[in-house]
């Protein structure tokens, strides 16, 4: 995997869950970095990928053909760095950390991408599983990575996404250990939020997804499970980054895994029942 080492960064402010999305974005704009799980509780978080306009149709088609890992919540006009999901926000500055890609190679991880921004970039805002963690918590499902102050572990699987034009690559998943008595609740609650990945794609033996070692995630941090916990895997919005590495477009900007864009949208807006 061609990437820099993911660092176990944690937002150290114990009140981050109570921040407004606007306040969180302001802190990120000033340089605060770290995983955003639990930040601005109740508000929708999204993945970001920006590609040149001549790759935008391929990306849109890739997302349409792979809605589980790539549920699109907004697409910008070429060159625009604003979104209807967050009034007054700037997609170039308001994420904790970004990744910059050239020809499929990771070249930088800045906290501000204004120096890299191009007038032909089309940005895709893709639903994030951090959004459904409020529903899991309300259903009594423990969120181990939040309890342990870690980034959620993410893994590149052996499952290939359906290709679209020049884009292809494997599905990425996030994993949360779930006590067996809470498994049904975890499946039920997340299935009601399909716009942020919905129900799990796999429960149990990670080998079923081609994952060899849960202690060695491709992105994020390893998380300690309780003895009876079942590993539960959800499709992950880092999947487009895996497609960038596999397909090697000339340029792309993405979020750093686990360091998401905070929108003004409320989580309940995406609940189907």
Domain spans in the chain, listed from the N-terminal domain onward:
16-130+248-270, 131-235
pTM (predicted TM-score): 0.92
Average pLDDT, the chain: 93
- 2 confidence band (pLDDT: 50, 70, 90): very low
- The 10s digit of each residue's pLDDT in 111-135 is 999 999 999 999 999 999 999 998 9
Task: Tell me which CATH homologous superfamily contains domain 131-235.
Answer: PSTPO5379-like domain (3.30.2040.10)
pLDDT, residue 167, reads 98
- The 10s digit of each residue's pLDDT in 197-206 is 999 999 999 9
CATH for 16-130+248-270 (3.40.630.30, 2.70.98.40, 3.40.50.620, 3.40.1640.10): 3.40.1640.10
Q: Is the pLDDT of residue 209 over 60?
A: yes
Average pLDDT over residues 224-238: 97
pLDDT, residue 41, reads 87
Alpha helices in 97-247 (DSSP H): 133-138, 144-147, 183-191, 239-247
pLDDT, residue 37, reads 87
Which tokens sit at 80?
């625009």
pLDDT, residue 6, reads 42
How many Å apart are CA 10 and CA 135, to the nearest integer?
Answer: 22
3-state SS, residue 129: helix
């Amino acid at each position: 995997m061609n990437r820099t080492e993911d660092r176990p960064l944690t937002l150290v402010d114990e009140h981050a869950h109570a921040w407004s999305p606007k306040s969180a974005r302001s802190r990120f704009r000033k340089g605060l970095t770290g995983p955003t799980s639990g930040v601005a509780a109740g508000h929708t978080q999204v993945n970001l990928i920006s590609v040149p306009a001549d790759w935008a149709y391929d990306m849109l088609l890739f997302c349409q053909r792979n809605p589980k890992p790539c549920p699109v919540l907004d697409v910008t006009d070429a060159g625009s760095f604003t979104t209807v999901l967050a009034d007054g926000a700037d997609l170039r500055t308001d994420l904790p950390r970004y990744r910059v890609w050239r020809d499929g190679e990771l070249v930088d991880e800045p906290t501000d991408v204004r120096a890299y921004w191009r007038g032909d970039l089309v940005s895709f805002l893709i639903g994030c599983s951090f959004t459904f963690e409020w529903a899991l918590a309300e259903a009594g499902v423990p969120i181990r990575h939040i309890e342990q102050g870690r980034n959620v572990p993410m893994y590149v699987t052996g499952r290939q996404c359906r290709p679209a034009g020049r884009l292809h690559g494997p599905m990425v998943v996030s994993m949360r250990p779930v006590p067996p008595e809470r498994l049904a609740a975890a499946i039920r609650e997340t299935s009601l939020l399909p716009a942020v990945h919905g129900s799990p794609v796999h429960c149990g033996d990670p080998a079923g997804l081609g994952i060899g070692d849960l202690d060695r995630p491709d992105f994020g941090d390893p998380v300690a499970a309780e003895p009876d916990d079942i590993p539960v895997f959800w499709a992950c919005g880092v999947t487009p980054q895996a497609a960038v590495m596999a397909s090697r477009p000339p340029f792309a900007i993405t979020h750093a895994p686990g360091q998401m864009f905070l929108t003004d949208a409320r989580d309940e807006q995406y609940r189907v029942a």
